[in-house]
A = this chain, B = another copy of it.
């Protein structure tokens, strides 16, 4: 194989080839109207010939700012709901020519801290962050540098800058009340890793509040361990423990777990929803693939990303953008509950 050397032509080479100075080439690129048509033609030809690609780093440095990138930090790309948010964000940014830079925190706060600092050094024009709880250090840093920041997937009255999401507490509360309304009396709750995931924590609060209001017993609360993307097997594995509490329904904080539990219930000959009701969270594609189809909370992943993108863009332009945008969730009743 021939040796590959990096070889980015510079504007100067284009200029020489076209018989002008770099200044004219620069102008040809950013305000072609100000360049004589004939000159323009020669410059365009030279660009083609050399394979010139502008150096955005130099450009941004010189122009004092915007490389037109937005940074998004999500727990994992594996989870479909965050993927949705990314898709929504992309959709909002693309028409304006902004690029998306993605980081995965792995649900780890320390990793988020590291990534914020690292990405900040690239001077992005905006940030999308998942969740609303984070280290004071990162909060301060972000506040101080003054880039537009959107926190997502939860609500708060004290965002760093803006927040786009819904109330996880309310969502879990609503589902629990709904379950109670269907006649379930012993509703168990199985949460994802709540130490590292405030969404799970808020859902638990909503669940407890609903039970209290309804005068129902709070069963032992189960938490699935590892701070990682949820796995179907996790839901299957925890079912036996949960059954020891004699629940007539189980509310999982993720469809993924719920699906695993339904499968495990079938293996054990437990009829869903007849003997045991099961509810999930997120409304993933998998929810309608499992039999019986899963009752769940539909959550607005894509919209969150889109609105977040629009808000960041507005801020960049100096237009007003709402500090808090609440996006509605909804309960989707299907066949895994009576």
A185 within 8 Å of B (CB atoms): no
Could you tell me if B289 and A55 are in contact, using CB atoms closer than 8 angstroms? no
Instruction: Knowing A61-B58, A61-B61, A285-B286 are in contact, say whether A99-B101 is a contact too (CB < 8 A).
Output: yes
Looking at the assembled complex, report how far the CB atom of A303 sits from the nearest CB atom of chain B, in whole angstroms: 15
A147–B5 CA distance with the chains assembled, in angstroms:
8
Tell me if A's interface is mostly helix, strand, loop or mixed: mixed
Task: Give how many copies assemble into the complex.
Answer: 2
Could you tell me if A78 and B76 are in contact, using CB atoms closer than 8 angstroms? no
Q: Report the interface size class on chain A.
A: 35 or more
Looking at the assembled complex, report how far the CB atom of A170 sits from the nearest CB atom of chain B, in whole angstroms: 25
A315–B190 CA distance with the chains assembled, in angstroms:
46
Looking at the assembled complex, report how far the CB atom of A119 sits from the nearest CB atom of chain B, in whole angstroms: 7
A172 within 8 Å of B (CB atoms): no
Looking at the assembled complex, report how far the CB atom of A86 sits from the nearest CB atom of chain B, in whole angstroms: 5
Contacts A4-B161, A57-B60, A259-B289 supplied; 6 other A-B pairs, CB < 8 Å: A1-B323, A4-B146, A8-B123, A51-B145, A56-B122, A78-B87
Contact residues of A with B, CB < 8 Å? 1, 4-8, 51, 53-61, 65, 67, 69, 76-78, 80, 83-84, 86-87, 90, 99-104, 117-123, 140-141, 144-148, 161, 231-232, 256, 259, 263, 285-286, 288-291, 315, 323
